[in-house]
Chain A
Amino acid sequence: ETGVTQTPRHLVMGMTNKKSLKCEQHLGHNAMYWYKQSAKKPLELMFVYNFKEQTENNSVPSRFSPECPNSSHLFLHLHTLQPEDSALYLCASSQSSLRLAGYTDTQYFGPGTRLTVL
């Protein structure tokens, strides 16, 4: 496997279900990100993890719970979602460095998980 992978690619769940999205990066990066892409809206940053520590939570509802057990893996745990949470969820990673400015760091994305909440 190369780059950034995401599983599953498609997920349909009911509002009472609990499911998890998985992201894995094979690039040796230190930072990982979750983004949400809804129809007709720009991509929205959800969470940022840098060196396994969460550094940003962009006011995301608690029904979304991220987990980063190591720098290569990122999970998004889902529970009691709403139909408006249906979207494409994209994971990304970047090299990151505590010594370099973050704005120069390129993020590489996975293929996304298309989530439908019934």
Chain B
Amino acid sequence: AQKITQTQPGMFVQEKEAVTLDCTYDTSDPSYGLFWYKQPSSGEMIFLIYQGSYDQQNATEGRYSLNFQKARKSANLVISASQLGDSAMYFCAMREPSYSGGGADGLTFGKGTHLIIQP
């Protein structure tokens, strides 16, 4: 079963509109972290926002906010007032704790959403 599901392969949005990118996750561990990354056509993965499973409030970073609904296992990214430069691939990712020790664990990524902002 997929651990991270992004159901929108592609989205077209008008400039200046708000956009919501969907992400659902699957884990049985009470401790986990959720991340969103942006990947422009150049290839670099750019960190946008983080939400911890124990955080009471939704994370916000400038125009980005994360709509965290723990009971639904949902972590949608909201971009307010979209800009042409927001056109890119967006990936939702999760980290679960490593019980093998060390504190460094890989991310599990979704398949991504290709967002295109139209003028």
Q: How far is the CA of A48 from the CA of B7 in the complex (A)?
A: 29
- Interchain CB contact (< 8 A) of A108 among B47, B93, B97: B47
**Known pairs A43-B109, A109-B37; A31 contacts B45 (CB<8 A):** no
Evaluate contact between A103 and B109: CB separation under 8 angstroms.
no
Which residues of chain B are within 8 angstroms of A49 by Cβ–Cβ distance?
A: 104
Evaluate contact between A106 and B47: CB separation under 8 angstroms.
yes
Q: Is B103 an interface residue (CB 8 A)?
A: yes
How many residues on the B side are at the interface (Cβ–Cβ under 8 A)? Answer: 34
- Interchain CB contact (< 8 A) of B45 among A41, A90, A97: A90
CB distance from A56 to the nearest CB of B (A): 6
Binary per-residue interface labels of chain A (88-109) against chain B in the complex, 1 for a CB within 8 Å, 0 otherwise: 1010101011111111111111
**Known pairs A101-B31, A102-B97, A114-B43; A58 contacts B50 (CB<8 A):** no
How many residues on the A side are at the interface (Cβ–Cβ under 8 A)? Answer: 38
Binary per-residue interface labels of chain B (88-111) against chain A in the complex, 1 for a CB within 8 Å, 0 otherwise: 000101011110111111111111
Measured CB to CB, the nearest residue on chain A to B44 is A111
Max chain A C-beta neighbours (<10 A), residue from B44, B47, B53: B44
Measured CB to CB, the nearest residue on chain B to A55 is B102
Binding site for B on A (CB under 8 A): 30-31, 33, 35, 41-43, 45, 48-51, 53, 55-56, 58, 88, 90, 92, 94, 96-112, 114
28 residue pairs bridging A and B, Cβ less than 8 Å apart: A30-B104, A31-B103, A33-B106, A42-B109, A42-B111, A43-B93, A48-B104, A48-B105, A49-B104, A50-B103, A50-B104, A53-B102, A56-B105, A58-B106, A101-B103, A102-B103, A103-B33, A103-B95, A105-B103, A105-B104, A106-B47, A106-B50, A107-B107, A108-B47, A109-B44, A109-B46, A109-B47, A111-B43
